[in-house]
Amino acid sequence: MGRYRERDYRSLQKSQEGCIMNIAIVTHIWKGHGPGGTENYIINLVEALKKRGIKVRVVFNEGDDPENFKVGGSRFLFPIKAFLILRKIKPQVIYSQGTWYCLFAGHIYKKLYGTTLVYTFHTEPDKKLPLFFKIVFQGLLNKCNCVTFVSRGLKEKIEEAWGLKFRKTEITYAGVTSKEVSEREIKEFRERFNMKEDSTVLLALGLTALKHKAEGVKLLMKAVRKLRDKYPNTTLILTRDGLYSNELQEFAKREGIFDNVIFTGDVGNPFVPLFICDIYTHITLGEGGVSLALLEAMSVGKPIIASSVGGIPEAIEDGKNGILVEPDVDKIIEKIEDLLENKEFAKELGRNAKKTAEEKFTWKKSVDKFLELYRSL
Reduced 3-state DSSP string for 76-127: CCHHHHHHHHHHHHCCCEEEEECCHHHHHHHHHHHHHHCCEEEEEECCCCCC
The answer to whether residues 204 and 158 belong to one domain is: no
Residue type, 155: K
Q: Do residues 290 and 354 share a domain?
A: yes
The reported pLDDT for the residue numbered 3 is 46
Domain co-membership, 90 together with 204: no
What is the rounded distance in angstroms from the CA atom of residue 116 to the CA atom of residue 22?
11
pTM: 0.89
CATH number at residue 212: 3.40.50.2000
Same domain, 153 and 220: no
- pLDDT at position 360 is 96
Instruction: Please tell me whether residues 12 and 132 are part of one structural domain.
Output: yes
Angle at 230 between CA 227 and CA 232, to 5 degrees: 80
Same domain for 232 and 160: no
Q: How many domains does the chain have?
A: 2
Please give the pLDDT value at position 19. Answer: 53
Closest by CA to 44, choosing from 181, 240, 179, 194, is 179
Residue 328 sits in which domain range? 183-360
Same domain, 82 and 205: no
Q: Are 96 and 377 in contact (CB under 8 A)?
A: no
Residue ranges of the alpha helices (H) in the chain? 2-16, 37-51, 78-89, 100-113, 131-142, 152-162, 183-192, 211-227, 245-254, 271-276, 292-299, 329-341, 343-360, 363-376
Burial grade of 255 (CB within 10 A; 0-12, 13-18, 19 or more): middle
Q: Is 355 left (phi over 0), alpha (psi -120 to 50) or beta?
A: alpha
Whether residues 93 and 164 share a domain: the answer is: yes
Same domain, 6 and 57: yes
- Alpha-carbon distance of 375 to 371, in angstroms, equals 6
What is the full per-residue pLDDT of the chain (377 aa) written as tens digits?
Answer: 444 444 554 444 444 434 558 999 999 999 987 767 889 999 999 999 999 999 999 999 999 999 999 998 899 999 999 999 999 999 999 999 989 999 999 999 999 999 999 999 999 888 889 999 999 999 999 999 999 999 999 999 999 999 999 999 999 999 998 889 999 999 999 999 999 989 999 999 999 999 999 999 999 999 999 999 999 999 999 999 999 999 999 999 999 999 999 999 999 899 999 999 999 999 999 998 899 999 999 999 999 999 999 999 999 999 999 999 999 999 999 999 999 999 999 999 999 999 999 999 999 999 999 999 998 98
Using CA atoms, how far apart are residues 189 and 232, in angstroms rounded to an integer? Answer: 21
* Same-domain pairing of 274 and 338: yes
Q: Give the Cα separation of 27 and 62 in Å (integer).
A: 9
**Are residues 6 and 154 located together in one domain of the fold?**
yes
Is residue 29 within 8 Å of residue 36, measured between CB atoms?
yes
List pLDDT tens digits, range 203-229. Answer: 999 999 999 999 999 999 999 999 999
- Please answer whether residues 178 and 44 qualify as being in contact, where contact means their C-beta atoms are separated by less than 8 angstroms: no
What is the chain's mean pLDDT, rounded?
93
Asked if residues 98 and 27 have their Cβ atoms less than 8 Å apart, the reply is yes
Q: Are residues 222 and 125 in the same domain?
A: no
